[in-house]
Chains A and B, each alone.
Chain A
Amino acid sequence: MPENIKTSKKQEVFKNTMEELFEKKYDPIMENSSPVIQNLRQKAFEIFKQNGFPDKKTENWRFTDLDPLYRDDYTIDLETKFQKTDVNKIFTCDVYDLDTYCVTLINGWFAYKNSPLTQLKDGTVIGSLFKAMEVYPEIVEKHLGSIAKLSEPGFVPLNTIFMQDGLFIYVPDDVKVEKPVQVINIVDSENPVFLQPRNLIIAGKNSKITLIHCDHTLTHNISFTNTVSEVIVQENAYVDHYKVQNKGRNSSLITSLFFKQEKDSRLLNNAITLNGKFTRNQVDLSITGENCHADLNGLYLVDSNQHVDNQVFVDHMAPNSLSNQLYKGILDDQASGVFSGKVLVRRDSQKTQAYQNNKNLLLTDEAKVNTQPFLEIYADDVKCSHGATVGQLDPNAMFYLRSRGLCELTARQLLMFAFADEIVNKISIEPLRDNISKLVEKRLRGELSICDQCILNCSSREPRFIQNFMD
């Protein structure tokens, strides 16, 4: 795309299609929404109409080519509603050593066996957002859209206009959810699909929850998923959040993940991207109270012509909190990557500690990465640092290993694994860490296939495609 053209033709067409779709489907979309949600959609629509999609001149989007995403043949399903499906018919998950509450989204719609909303004994509610809008309107209305920024160009407003279903979790005050909640996003479609799941997670005061988000594709058909998640971490709550992406070569993902931390809370976020034609992960954290602690980690392993883009924004709105970002990537072949990390420390946020680091390994001359760590500090009594490195495997280390009898390939894999392991080691749940560690090792050995996608040893009952992406 020539630099001087602001908006591409495809983008314009796609924008028009979206606007027309909203107008055409106005009634069914609005029919199921409460007035508050109707207003939210309407507002998002106005903003979208005005701002449209980001282009090559938009800050933080300059290195990412969106044109391939703007297709005219997507199926967009606004009607299915959450569905009663025997998920096991199309997909089974054999959990060996990690016991979880496992739920599934199929093409963005919550899938269930018995009920679209489950209340655990401890009071925690897990289920369909669509259903939650009906059953818990006051909770949903209070939080939905409360931290997702409509000012973000394009995809957050677009999701807000059309959002139908997704995951809803409400953890009441003082409840420590015993088992991790695992969410599997399954894309299963014969046609190109455009999906916009919306997730809302509320962790009440003094609560604790672990959430594992896995992205799974059952087919090699073209899909574009634009997810928006809002995670509200209330006073003294602890949220441990994982995102594991291992998507096919025709899958594109844009994930906008918004966190809000209230005072004394703790957040651990890990974004692990093992494969994916196009992946953009945005993490936006607002620290609104004192004494918060946030660790934002990321690992991306891409090859062939895959593109991965990580955007992290941390807004220190209150004093005395700590945020720590560490993102590491290994890029092979012609893969490309972007890391953009920004920390904003506001004027009154004294005693903030904010650290940011991005390290990249480029395995070929053609692989490239664009890294921009960035601090914007208005308080004077803070401890902040940032750094970025882009390098090759250390030839001295390579020689050292080879001089002991390790062949070049083994030496390379050992060093790559060591590089990635720093992130894997930060995973706090042991069985999960072991599983991800194995998965990363497999990935680096070039042996990861679609059947291994799920971190919890999931397997498709009838694998329609068994294909090694590393070919």
Chain B
Amino acid sequence: MLKIKNLNVSVEGKTILKGLNLEVNEGEVHAIMGPNGSGKSTLASVIAGRDYFTVEKGEVTYMGKNLLEIPPEVRAKEGIFLGFQYPIEIPGVSMTNFMRTAINEKRKHLGLKPLTGADFLKLIEEKKKLVKIESKLTNRSVNEGFSGGEKKKNEIFQMALLEPKLSVLDETDSGLDIDALKVVANGVNTLKRKDNATILITHYQRLLDFIIPDFVHVLYDGQIVKSGGKELALELEEKGYNWIKQEVQAE
């Protein structure tokens, strides 16, 4: 589904990703861990199409297409979803209006008729239950005045509404209390299908107790330096990143 080869990315002349390789197939869950500043969010942003990053080298294909040529909104409509590490507050834009527009844009792209008001409301109610998000949030402006945890929940709510093929969740677990964490994990697990995939960026093995990853990767200094199964996450939790840094430096 997603193939990243030798990806080199810079921002303001500074190279952040330095030859990153990653392959994600349908039905898989990948966890990406790594120290602060190693480039995890940069990778997520490049997949979603943020334009202030410059791709210096390498290729990214998604469903056989060159992803880098596609504008962000088309990527979204083709099924890519980014759960932001820091969701943006947008005063004055109502959550429901926003989501209704988003869903209908996507439907249009797929050649489907727009949802009627009634169908949309039904969908909202259904997904609200799934992620246990309160109406007081969905009736407000996008993320405005939401607590940190509420913002993260709202990302999952949007994901549930948009039903993406490839979700990249950037530290969606950070700042969540244990109940919210379970809700988020439950959301991801419920939405999981044979033909979609998830990339979880996280610092905590705790999330991986609830969402079992097929692969765990360590992103360090712009590269994936180690990959393994879910045991790797446990090892990292226990030993930190120093041993990996040493391994890399020894090479």
Contacts and interface: CB of A to CB of B under 8 A. Distances in A.
B48 A403 contact: yes
A361 B85 CA distance: 27
Query: Taking each of A405, A407, A415, which has the highest tally of chain B beta carbons within 10 Å of its own beta carbon?
Result: A405
Contacts of B92: 417-419, 421-422
A421 B94 CA distance: 11
Nearest to B87: A400
Interface in A413-439: 414-415, 417-419, 421-422
A18 B98 CA distance: 55
A410 B71 contact: no
Given A407-B105, A410-B101, A414-B101, A402 B72 contact: yes
A405 B105 contact: yes
Interface in A95-151: none
Interface in A279-338: none
Interface stretch (B27-35, B76-84, B240-248): B76-84
A231 B30 CA distance: 68
B63 interface: no
A88 interface: no
Interface string A372-398: 000000000000000000000011110
Contacts of A402: 49, 71-73, 76
A414 B98 contact: yes
Contacts of A411: 73
A421 B158 CA distance: 24
A404 B76 contact: yes
Interface in B99-136: 99, 101-102, 105-106, 109
Contacts of B65: none
B148 to A, nearest CB: 16
B93 A415 contact: yes
B88 A405 contact: no
B105 A410 contact: yes
Interface in B43-77: 48-52, 71-73, 75-77
B181 interface: no
A399 interface: yes
A417 to B, nearest CB: 7
B102 A404 contact: yes
B49 A415 contact: no
A359 B106 CA distance: 33
B90 interface: yes
B175 interface: no
Main secondary structure of the interface of A (DSSP, over half): helix
B173 to A, nearest CB: 20
B132 to A, nearest CB: 21
Nearest to B142: A400
A401 B98 contact: yes
Interface string A190-229: 0000000000000000000000000000000000000000
A418 B89 CA distance: 12
Query: Taking each of A399, A401, A402, A403, which has the highest tally of chain B beta carbons within 10 Å of its own beta carbon?
Result: A403
A408 interface: yes
B93 A414 contact: yes
Contacts of A414: 93, 97-98, 101
A400 B92 CA distance: 14
Contacts of A13: none
A405 B165 CA distance: 14
B37 interface: no
A405 B73 contact: yes
Contacts of B91: 418, 422
B93 A418 contact: yes
A397 B99 CA distance: 14
B218 interface: no
A408 B73 contact: yes
B105 A403 contact: no
A395 B162 CA distance: 22
A404 B81 CA distance: 7
Contacts of B49: 402-403
A422 B144 CA distance: 14
Contacts of A395: 52
Given A399-B50, A399-B72, A410-B105, A404 B98 contact: yes
Nearest to A396: B88
Contacts of A410: 101, 105
Interface string A426-469: 00000000000000000000000000000000000000000000
Closest A-B pairs by Cβ, 7 of them: A418-B92, A405-B76, A404-B102, A400-B88, A402-B72, A402-B73, A418-B93
Given A405-B162, A406-B105, 17 more contacts: A395-B52, A397-B90, A400-B87, A400-B88, A401-B93, A401-B98, A402-B71, A402-B73, A403-B73, A403-B81, A403-B82, A404-B76, A404-B98, A405-B102, A406-B98, A410-B101, A414-B98
28 contacts: A394-B88, A395-B52, A396-B88, A397-B88, A399-B72, A400-B84, A400-B90, A400-B142, A402-B49, A402-B73, A402-B76, A403-B75, A403-B84, A404-B76, A404-B98, A404-B99, A405-B76, A405-B162, A406-B73, A407-B73, A407-B105, A408-B71, A411-B73, A415-B93, A417-B92, A418-B93, A418-B141, A422-B91
